[in-house]
Amino acid sequence: MSEFLSRLNPEQAEAAGTINGPVLVLAGAGTGKTRVITFRIAHMLSIGIAPEQILGMTFTNKAAREMRERLAQLVDPGVASRVTLGTFHSFCIRILRREATKLGYLPGFTIADDSDQQGLLKQAVGNAGFSTREGFPLAEVQAQIGKWKNRLLFPKDAKKFAETSYEEDCAIVYEYYQELLELQNSLDFDDMLLLVHKLFTEFPEVLAKYQDRYRYLLIDEYQDTNAAQFTIVKLLVGETCNLCVVGDDDQSIYSWRGADISNILNFPEHFPGAKVVKLEQNYRSTTSILNAANAVIGSNANRHEKKLWSDLGIGDKVQVVKTASGEAEAEFIAGMIQQLHESEHYAYKDFAILYRSNHLSRELEQSMRRNRIPYRLVGGQEFYKRREIKDAVSYLKLLVNPHDDQSLLRILGTPPRGLAAKAVEQLKIGRATTHTPMVDQLGLEEFRKTLPPKAARAAEELDETFRLYREKFQEPGALAAKVTSFLRDVGYLDGLQRIYKDLNDSMKRRENVDEFINAIAQFEQREQEPQTLEAYLESFALLEESDRTEEDDAGGDAVTLLTVHASKGLEFPVVFCVALERNLFPHERAIEEGSLEEELRLFYVAITRARKKLFITRAARRLQRGMLQPAMPSPFLELLGDDVAEFPSPDDLLRPASDESVRKAFAEIFKMLDKRNRD
C-alpha cells in the first residue's frame, strides 16, 4: 500500500487504489469524495503514471480549483499542474480551440452568453415567420433547443424526433438559430458538448488522439451527467475503460438541467465488470442528523442502497418547529440565531437558511434586517451579469471575433454616438446581401455614405479603434492595461455618464467596470504564462455563480441565505430548512407531475448540509396573494419519527410572534435540548 492509500479509511483506499478498469465510487454526503479523488491521482502519479495521461472532470470551477490545490499539497506542484483538471465545458472548449476548424468554425470563435442567445432566438423566431407573442416564449424555446442538444440532436434530427406541432415549430426555429450562431462564429454552452461529440464520431483520428493522450479518466459528481456527457465519456475511455466515477445517486437533483440519474444507477450495466465501492462513513454531521437523513432517503426505491454513519457523537436531535405564520417563522429563526450566537458563541457565518424557492427569502431578509443580523444572499444579481460589465465584455468580444454581430448591436449605441436605427438597418442589409460582418462594414465607404456626417465620422472612428487594438492584442500579456486603454479610447469609460444620467449611478457603474479590470489583472497574476484576450474571454464565459468577487460575496461574518439547490457541496454548523409545507417543499409542480423522488433527494441534500444542529420549520399559515392562507405540512415530515426528531411546538409558537413569545419558545426548546444532553 502506497503512503497515500495508507492515509485513507479502508473503503476510500479501495476506491483510490483500484486503477485499472471501470470503478463506481458511491460517495454519500460528507464521506470525503474530494479526498478520495485527489489521493487517487497522487497514488497514480506515485506508481509511475504520467500526469499528462490523467483527465479529471468536475461540474464547477470551484471543485476543479479545490482539487488542484489539494493535489499540489500532496505531490510536486509542477507535476500537479500537468494533470488536466476542469469542468466538462472547459475540457470541451480546449478541444474545440484546437480542432473546430474541421467543423467549419474560425479559430477566434466566441461563446454566446444568455442574453446573446435570447437576441439570436428572437431573430430566429422572426426569420421562421413566428412571433414571440404567439405561443413562442423565448425561455421555453431556448430550453427545448437545449434539451435537443443535450440529446446530441442537430436541427435535422430534432425535426424527426418532434412529437407535437409545437416541437415541430421549435425545430424550425432551432435551424434558424443554429445558422445565426454559425454565421457569427459563435457557440452556445450546449454546442460545446454537441460539437465535441461530432468531432469524435466524424473524425476517428481526432478521437484516437485524445484516447491515446488521456488513458485514465476520473469524473466527479457523476450523478449530474447528461446524455451528451455520458456519450463523450463512453467514447473517450474506449476499450481500455480506465474510468473512475464518483457520485451519489441520493444527491441527484438536477434533472431540470438535463442530468440523467440512470447514468449512475446503471453504471454496472453500462461498463461490465465494474467494481462498486460504497463510502458511508460521514465526516461532517452528528449521528442524529444522519439518522434523519437515512430515514428520509430510505423511502426512495430507485437508488443504490447505502447508509451514512458517523463517529462524531449523537448530538442534538433534529428540531421540527411549527410557527403561526411565515412572518413568525422568520422571527423564530432570527431569534434562534441570536440566542445561539450569544449563548453558544456561534459566529453568524456558521448559520445557513435554506429554502426550496427564491421567493421565500423575502420575509427572512426582512427579519434579518429588523434584528440587525448580518446576512449574505446567494443568488442575487451576479457581478458579471450587470449591464455595464456585459457591455464591456461585448466590446472585447468584437476584438477577438469580428463576426459577432450580436455584440456590435449591443454596444453600437452604448454610449450614444449617432449610430441609431437607420445605421442598424443598413448594417443588417449589408450582412444579408454581402455577408460582410457588421463591424467590418463600419470601415466601408459605401456604408458610411448612407449615414449623416456625424454618424459617418463615429463609424469611421469606431472602425479605426477596433483595427488599432486588434493589432495591439495580438501580443499576449499586459491585458488589464490594454483593456483599460481600449475601453477609454473606444469612448466607453468616459461615456458611462451619458448612458446613466444619474451621477451617483454612473460613478457606481464606473467602479464596477474598474473592478472588472481588476479581475482581469488577477486572472493574469494567477497564470504562469502571458495571457491572451481570447484566453480571458474563454475563462469569463465559463464563470459560474461560485466565481464571485470579494465585493459580491458580502464577505465577513454573515448568515447565508440560499436555495437548497445552491447549497449542494456546502456545509454549515447550524442549518435552518424552512417552509416544509405542501406545494412549497415538495414543490407544487413536482406533486402535479408525480416526480417526488427528486424532491425527496433535495430534502436529503438540505439535511446533510448541517454539521451540528438542524432546525426544520413550517408555518400554520402563509401569505398567498396578499392573504394569510392555511398551509398544510409537507408529507416529507411524516418520515421524521420521534426516534430521529423532536417536535417542540409550545403554544407560544402558534400565535403571532412577539418578543415575549419567542423568548418563551426558545426557553422551552433549550430546556428540552439541555435535558437530552444530561440524559
Beta strand spans in 448-558 (E):
none
Which residue of the set 18, 34, 338, 465 is catalytic?
Answer: 34
The pLDDT-based confidence of 301 (bands split at 50, 70, 90) is confident
Which whole number is the average pLDDT over 198-219? 96
pLDDT in tens, 83-116: 999 999 999 999 999 999 999 998 889 999 888 8
Q: Which three cell numbers stand for residue 533?
A: 484576450
Cβ-Cβ contacts under 8 Å for 203 (sequence gap 6 or more): 99, 102
391 counts as catalytic: no
Task: State the catalytic residue, choosing from 14, 33, 417, 599.
Answer: 33
Output the CA–CA distances (angstroms, integers) from residue 557 to 346, 376, 494, in the order listed: 10, 9, 37
The catalytically annotated residue of 229, 251, 406, 426 is: 251
428 part of the active site: no
Span of 27-31, 590-594, 647-651 with lowest mean pLDDT: 647-651
Q: Kindly report the CA angle at 496 between 490 and 497, in degrees rounded to 5? A: 130
**pLDDT for the residue numbered 656:** 37
Residue 547 has pLDDT above 60, yes or no: no
pLDDT at res. 305: 93
Cis bond upstream, residue 586 (ω within 30): yes
pLDDT at 659 over 60: no
Q: What is the pTM of this model?
A: 0.82
CA angle 143, 153, 407 (to 5 degrees): 55
| Rg for the chain, CA atoms, rounded | 27
pLDDT at 570: 93
CB 564 within 8 A of CB 606: yes
pLDDT digits (tens, 9 = 90+) for 332-345: 999 999 999 999 99
pLDDT in tens, 116-128: 898 899 999 988 8
The two beta strands, 54-58 and 84-87, are: parallel
Residue 417 phi, psi (nearest 5) = -140, 20
Judged on CB neighbours under 10 Å (0-12, 13-18, 19+), 156 is exposed
The one catalytic residue in 169, 188, 221, 646 is: 221
Quick one: which of 429, 469, 423 has its CA closest to 448?
Answer: 423
C-alpha 355 chain-centroid distance: 17
Residue 340 CA: distances (Å) to CA of 34, 127, 335, 613, 667: 31, 60, 9, 10, 12
The amino acid sitting at 233 is: V
pLDDT at 679: 52
What lies within 8 Å, CB to CB, of 378 at 6+ separation is: 545, 560, 561, 562, 563, 566
Categorize the per-residue pLDDT at 592 as very low, low, confident or very high, splitting at 50, 70 and 90.
confident
What is the per-residue pLDDT for 135?
A: 64
Task: Kindly name the residue from 99, 169, 188, 220 that is annotated as catalytic.
Answer: 220
Whether residue 221 lies in the annotated active site: yes
User: What is the amino acid identity at position 421?
Assistant: A
The backbone torsions φ and ψ at residue 638, rounded to the nearest 5 degrees and listed phi first, read -65, -20
C-alpha cell at 529: 504564462
- Contact predicate 390/377, CB 8 Å: no
What was the pLDDT predicted at 652? Answer: 38
Q: Averaged over 368-392, what is the pLDDT?
A: 83
Q: What pLDDT shows up at residue 421? A: 84
Taking only the tens place, the pLDDT of each residue in 475-514 is 888 899 999 999 999 999 989 888 887 887 888 888 889 8
Model pLDDT for residues 660-670, shown as the tens digit of each residue: 544 454 455 44
Cα 648 to Cα 652: distance, rounded to the nearest angstrom: 11
Q: Above pLDDT 90, what percent of the chain?
A: 61
Mean pLDDT of the 365-392 span: 84
Extract the C-alpha cell encoding 318: 433534529
Which of the residue ranges 298-302, 314-318, 380-384 has the most confident prediction, judged by mean pLDDT?
A: 314-318
Q: How many CB atoms lie within 10 A of CB 518?
A: 13
Looking only at the bridges linking them, the beta strands covering 572-577 and 216-219 are: unpaired
Question: What's the pLDDT at 419?
Answer: 84
pLDDT bin (cut points 50, 70, 90) of residue 522 is: confident
33 part of the active site: yes
651: number of Cβ within 10 Å: 10
Interatomic CA distance for residues 393 and 509, integer angstroms: 14
Question: For all residues of the chain together, what is the average pLDDT?
Answer: 88
Active site residue 240: no
Local structure of 174: helix, strand or coil: helix
